[in-house]
Every structure is written in structure tokens, then in C-alpha cells.
Structure 1
């Protein structure tokens, strides 16, 4: 991630960047483990389709994309044919399903860096993934990533998985202290993304987030797109963009969540809601508009990916986010009291709902009756019990739970 060169030119320190380049590459933000054969790594990367001008050798370390160190084993894996095309922009290297808990050890992270590390881990831990993520020390770790701080860096550096294991180290720049905790969280979340196999979302044109730069390379095996995620990047559109901004929130966008869940999601991940009339809630156009209640069957637009904010198993009274097919989050406008839409790129307080099992169970199964409570305490309602086709047919403005505020769920 080119987080050592923020978009805001006032924040740049050109003199420092030139000095760092001589020492270790300013755009790589530090050196990680030392590969045993840099030339073979370079040859493998060229064969995999990476442009020569995007491959940088510093000592015995080899980098692509300016911040992703490539080991010899990882470079060899890139030459293998991909097993599927169900991933976002990533290399063919992913984390094996045998890795069930990833721990991150950062004893040198204190103060705002410690808080940011905890928040970055939480970004992954709160998702229903094939692996959990925790900060070390923790029991039951399948693999431990070491997190270190380099006071001379203003960004981060990591590498790709190899042998089915995450990359072993993330290095975070101490100069990030000039930014807020959300920006540091963003950088750490990004570097953790590299360790589990994500490429930059704007790999094909780094100028999108950096203001300058070219194509990191594709070749079919170097950058694979996950269906359902945008094939083009935008400023602020992904936590995996090459460059960061001082205004980053630290949170994943809707397309980021789609990508992570597609790569590592554990089923079930979607909820559908049947109203009193037998109709289903729908995010019109798959998201980006309002929520209606007039569908007679479950299709992609009637399935909502849920994120349990507390992490772990979905339980009664948990707070959840709901995401439409296009990655947009469902929102109770003004936190409740009005219409329900599905048009938010990130999840905040208005996009959080308490899910209540009206049948009294502590967990949820298909067929259970539930209610959704907005941030202001009011309940989601399908007006007239369902059947409404326009904006306002689903609201979040009821003070109590009745038949119209009751939904039967299907988990898939």
C-alpha cells in the first residue's frame, strides 16, 4: 500500500521519501523477511505477468505493488493455475481452510497504535469467516502474524500468503502518529488484507488513489476479480486502495465486505425476511435505492448479507448490519422514524439493527419470527403487512411489535 505517500500533498515529505528509497524503498515502507533467491522471485513475477517496472529489489527482498513483499515460495505459487475465479483482486495465494484462528502479535503497539490494531482485528473478527482473528496472546492460534512498528515509515508493508498460511509480518509506520486512530486502523486493516491474499483494488491504475502511478500487472493469475464486486476502483471505495487519505474511516466498504466474505465467508451469511402477507423484503435494483416488501420469492435482491457486529454466532438481541446485493448497507434514515433504504456505502449507527427472536430462542434458524429495531428504538415495519412496492413501503417508525413488524427469516 502506498500509504507512505498520502494523497494530500501537504502531508508529503519528499526529502524523507528519497532518503528512505535509498535505504529500503520509500514506497515499500520497510523490509520484511529476506528471500533466499531474489532473481528467481523476479523471474517468476515476470512470468506471472507483473510489469518489470513494478518489481523492486531492495537488498535480498523483492516487492510488488510497492508494499507487498513476495517470498520465493509465494512467487512459485503464482505460476500455478488458479482453482477458481471466485476471488476479488488477489494473487492465487490464499489462506487454507485448516487455518481456523489467526492471531496478531503486536507487543510494541501502545497508545493510539494499540487501539488501532485492536480495531483492525475487529474488522475481520466481526465477520462470519472460516477463521477468527484475535490479538496475541490468545489460545488456540493456528498461525501468528507479527506486527512491528518502524519509526521511519509513513504507511505499512506486508506480503502475500504462501503454503496456505498468511504472510508472517506486517510493518506499520510510526509516522502515522500524525493521523487519527481511524487512519492508522485503515492502514493496519489494509496490510492484514495483504497477508490473507488481497491485491490493491486499484492495481490496474494506481493513479486512482495515489494521484500518479501505473499498472501493477494482471496476467489472469495476479489479480482475480470476485463476482459481485466492482471491476473499477474509486477514491475511498476500498480499504485495499493503493494510497490512503487522512480522512479514512478505518471501516470496510460494502464491496470490501463482499470480497472478504466471498473468499473466506462461512455459511450461512444471508437473511431473507417474509412479511405478514407472505411477501419478502427487497432491496430494489439490488441496492442503491429503497427497501420494498412486494416480492413473492427469494432471489439475489431479497437476500441480505448480515454482519454480526459483536462477532461470533448470531444470537438473540445481537446488533447486525444488513448488506444488499450491490454491497450497499440497509439504513433506517435518521436512525429510525422514517423510511428504510439500502443505499449506504459504509455501516454506521443508522445502519445498525437489533435482531430479536420473537419465538424466544437464543439463536436463529430458518422459520423463526423476528423483529428489527433501529438505533432510536423504533421497529421496522412492512406497511399494511407487506405488498408495498415504492419508497416508504418499509419504514422504521413503530414503537411496538405487532403483526406488521414481525418477519419470518430464511438463512442461507
Structure 2
């Protein structure tokens, strides 16, 4: 997740991009320290992800602002459907969490009280839905998802708020959510509901949710419409989903800079996958 671009002096209030997870998807002007090869960009495109502002990281490649793709993940064959809601759609990834019903254990390591409370907020929101996938925060033992910090200031007009990835081919959730501890990300006194909304978004990626406005990121981020196309992974309309824009979805690419949780269409999508 990233904040949206900065003004010359002040940060735009509504400029946070979740991903969650939110980065602005506008192209970064500054050159990336590690160039991404044309072959890797082609693999990213073939998997149905945006090739704008791809960044090389220790874990692989950061795409769409807050989604980590490993080199192994890029080698996987695409072919399963994604979920669509009208023109501003709800998507899932190739892989979903399997072996349901299932309790996903979540651990927070090396982060302050606002991140712990934000994790509890996100977990409570998911658990209230009565899905066959539930979450439990643990303080010891082995976790399925671990939240950990990193410290990275603004670069090229962006700041990453958090990042995560997608489920494995074996049906497990993505195992790591990274949250930015830099003061430019959440301030010196982070708002728990805002932090919780970002964590909620990143958990969405961990269980297989794409950005809702993937087909038109201008819907939440502004600027020019960006449509990455089908990516070779198909599209399936969720039964019962209204044919209207998906305003205020928890998986929109850019956040409103504050508290955001599930809307009615989000719940339809989650129920379709995990109820």
C-alpha cells in the first residue's frame, strides 16, 4: 500500500493508495535503483498485473503499489478466472485459500500498539462476516500471516504504506504483510482505524483479492484511466452482484486516507468465495 503522490510541500489528503496496499499507479518519475528486465515485465503482464512502476525488492517484485510477486510466482501458469463487478470490478487471483473451514493465525512482530490494535480491528471485521475462513491473532507459535515493519520514506512522489502478496498454489494465504513505520506514512501517532483499514486491505490480498478498480484505476486514484486487460486469466461475474460502480470498496487501489471497511459488494464477493 502506498500514499498517493505528494504536493510540492503538503501531502494530498485523499492520496493514499492501499495494496494493498496503496500506491498511486501513476508512473514514478524517478528512476528505480534496480532496473526490471523486459522479460520480467512480460511475465508480470501475462499474469494480469500492471507493469507501471514495478519495483525490484529482496522478495521479488512490487507491483500495483503493494503486491509482492516472487520469481516463482511469476513462473506459475495462469488460467483460472477472476471475479468481476460491472466496470469497476471485484477480482480474485489464480489461487485462493483452501482446506476450509480454516482459522488463519496472525502474528504482529516488532510493531507498535497502533499496529497491534489495527490488526485486531481488521480481524474483527472479517470474523463478523461469518465466513469459513476466520482469523486469530496469536503472540507465540507459528503464524500463517506475520505482520512486520519496515522503514522507508517517500521516494519519487510516493510512500509505501504496506505490502503483501497472494495465496500460494498449495492453498495457503500469503505469509507476510509489511507495514511502514516511517513517520511520513502514518504520522507520529497513527490512527488505529486507518491503520486497521490498511491491514484489512492487505489481508484481502493475502486471501486472494485483487484491487477492485483494476480495470480502471482512475476510479479511486484519479488521472488517466488504466486498463490492463484480461491478462489471460478470464473473468467471472459474481452471482447476485449489482451492475453498478463499486464505490468505497475495501480493495480500491487508492484509499480515502482514513477509515474504510467492506461495502455491500465486498461482502457479496467474500461470501461467494469463502461462505
Same fold (TM over 0.5): yes
The yes-or-no answer on 1:212 pairing with 2:214 is no
Match of 2:111 in 1: 109
Once the two structures are TM-superposed, the CA of residue 216 in structure 1 deviates from its matched residue by 4.1
Give 1:198's match in structure 2, choosing from 179, 198, 209.
209
Q: 1:78·1:91 contact (CA, 8 Å) conserved in 2?
A: no
TM-score (structure 2 length as normaliser): 0.73
Taking the aligned partners of 1:150 and 1:20, their CA distance within structure 2 comes to 21
Give 2:180's match in structure 1, choosing from 173, 180, 183.
173
Relative to structure 1, the CA distance from residue 157 to residue 117 in structure 2 (aligned partners, 3 Å threshold; closer, same or farther) is: same
Give 2:136's match in structure 1, choosing from 122, 134, 137.
134
Once the two structures are TM-superposed, the CA of residue 19 in structure 1 deviates from its matched residue by 10
Once the two structures are TM-superposed, the CA of residue 47 in structure 1 deviates from its matched residue by 2.8
TM-score (structure 1 length as normaliser): 0.51
Segments of structure 1 that go 5 or more residues without pairing to the other structure are 26-36, 266-412
Segments of structure 2 that go 5 or more residues without pairing to the other structure are 16-23, 153-158
Relative to structure 1, the CA distance from residue 73 to residue 59 in structure 2 (aligned partners, 3 Å threshold; closer, same or farther) is: closer
- The Cα offsets for residues 254-279 of structure 1, whole Å up to 9 and x where unpaired, read as 111111111111xxxxxxxxxxxxxx
The yes-or-no answer on 1:11 pairing with 2:11 is yes
Taking the aligned partners of 2:84 and 2:99, their CA distance within structure 1 comes to 15
Q: 2:211·2:253 contact (CA, 8 Å) conserved in 1?
A: yes
Superposed, which structure 2 residues align to 1:238-277 within 5 Å? Answer: 238-248=249-259, 250-265=260-275
Taking the aligned partners of 1:172 and 1:179, their CA distance within structure 2 comes to 12
User: What is the total number of aligned residue pairs between the two structures?
Assistant: 245
Task: Decide which structure has the larger Cα Rg and report it.
Answer: 1
Q: 1:63·1:70 contact (CA, 8 Å) conserved in 2?
A: yes
User: More displaced, 58-67 or 251-260?
Assistant: 58-67
Relative to structure 1, the CA distance from residue 99 to residue 222 in structure 2 (aligned partners, 3 Å threshold; closer, same or farther) is: farther
Q: 2:162·2:202 contact (CA, 8 Å) conserved in 1?
A: yes
Taking the aligned partners of 2:233 and 2:258, their CA distance within structure 1 comes to 33
Once the two structures are TM-superposed, the CA of residue 72 in structure 1 deviates from its matched residue by 3.6
Once the two structures are TM-superposed, the CA of residue 180 in structure 1 deviates from its matched residue by 2.4
The yes-or-no answer on 1:54 pairing with 2:61 is no
Give 1:162's match in structure 2, choosing from 151, 165, 168.
168
The yes-or-no answer on 1:184 pairing with 2:195 is yes
Taking the aligned partners of 1:173 and 1:222, their CA distance within structure 2 comes to 34
Match of 2:239 in 1: 227
Relative to structure 1, the CA distance from residue 89 to residue 230 in structure 2 (aligned partners, 3 Å threshold; closer, same or farther) is: farther
Taking the aligned partners of 1:74 and 1:246, their CA distance within structure 2 comes to 31
Match of 2:79 in 1: 80
Q: 1:7·1:209 contact (CA, 8 Å) conserved in 2?
A: no
How large is the RMSD of aligned CA atoms in angstroms? Answer: 3.7
- The Cα offsets for residues 18-50 of structure 1, whole Å up to 9 and x where unpaired, read as 79974689xxxxxxxxxxx98775443333444
Higher strand fraction (1 or 2): 1
Task: State the SS of the aligned residue for 2:65.
Answer: coil
